[in-house]
Amino acid sequence: MNKIKVLIAENFDVYRHGLRSILSEAPAVSEVYAVRSAKDLVQAYKKSPDSVCIVSSNIEGSNIHDLMQRLEKVQPAPKVIVLTYSTDVNHLNQSLKAGVNGYLMKNCTTGELESAIKEVAKGKQAFSKSVSQMMANKYVDQAKKTGSVSNKLTKRETEVLKLIVEGHTSPEIAKMLFISPRTVETHRSNLMNKLKIKNTAALVRYALEKTEIG
């Protein structure tokens, strides 16, 4: 197997230095190039489209989805590993949807990082332990929920939920959204039915812990 070229895109100084330092010493890696922004990454990728890209979840200048599209214009199947700082489930989902090949937590070990790069270079996928455990748990959770997998909320429901989380009562929300208080309560009702939740407290907790609200 040929040695692997790696492109790092990370706008935080310390972390970028850390990645470069570790990967420079990795035997499987031949070249390491580090940039700060999404724009620079795309530029660099044009010059060496056979690289494995390591991208920070909070990369400056783009979200993962757009970044992937830009990379795909250069080369149809870019190899991208996302490194994340948070345990935000939404971000993971978005990244997977965007088609990334790996997803590691910021606190991964040198070993995890290296093996992930090797796997992705081979065309496989790579997830850090905590991420794959989390995915497994979610899968079980979903299955438990009577099989109905997509408990996605509608726009309006999300809107209402957001206002509930912000501490507004139903009448207040009604005024804000220019709808009837009853309608707000219908939305509350539907939210709770969908989420198998029985009161406001649990609803707020759900929103803060399992959605991008908050």
C-alpha span between 46 and 179 (Å, rounded) = 51
CB 52 within 8 A of CB 7: yes
**Interface stretch with DNA, choices 50-58, 91-99, 120-128, 179-187 (CB under 7 A):** 179-187
Which residues of the chain form contacts with its own copies (CB under 8 A)? 12-22, 85, 106-110, 113, 164-169, 197-205, 208-209, 214
* Partner touching 186 among DNA, its own copies, none, CB below 5 to 8 Å by kind: DNA
Q: Which is nearer to DNA, 95 or 170 (CB)?
A: 170
Q: Which is nearer to DNA, 1 or 201 (CB)?
A: 201
- Tokens 């408990």 appear where? 151
**Per-residue burial over 189-211, b = 16 or more CB atoms within 10 Å of its CB, e = otherwise:** eebbebbebeeeeebbebbeeeb
**Interface stretch with DNA, choices 10-18, 50-58, 137-145, 182-190 (CB under 7 A):** 182-190
Asked if 180 touches DNA (CB under 7 A), the answer is yes
* Partner touching 48 among its own copies, DNA, none, CB below 5 to 8 Å by kind: none
CB of 77 to its own copies, least distance (A): 26
- Pair of tokens at residue 144: 């438990």
Residue 137 to residues 88, 100, 108, 197: CA-CA distances in angstroms? Answer: 14, 21, 20, 19
Q: Out of 18, 99, 157, 176, point to the residue binding DNA (CB under 7 A).
A: 157
CB 105 within 8 A of CB 114: no
Q: Which is nearer to DNA, 70 or 156 (CB)?
A: 156
- Three-state SS at 116: helix
- Three-state SS at 53: strand
* Partner touching 49 among DNA, its own copies, none, CB below 5 to 8 Å by kind: none
**Interface stretch with DNA, choices 9-17, 88-96, 127-135, 170-178 (CB under 7 A):** 170-178
**Per-residue burial over 14-40, b = 16 or more CB atoms within 10 Å of its CB, e = otherwise:** eebebbbeebeebeebeebbbbbebbb
CB of 97 to its own copies, least distance (A): 26
CB of 137 to DNA, least distance (A): 25
Binding site for DNA (CB under 7 A): 152, 154-157, 169-171, 177, 179-183, 185-189, 192, 198-201, 203
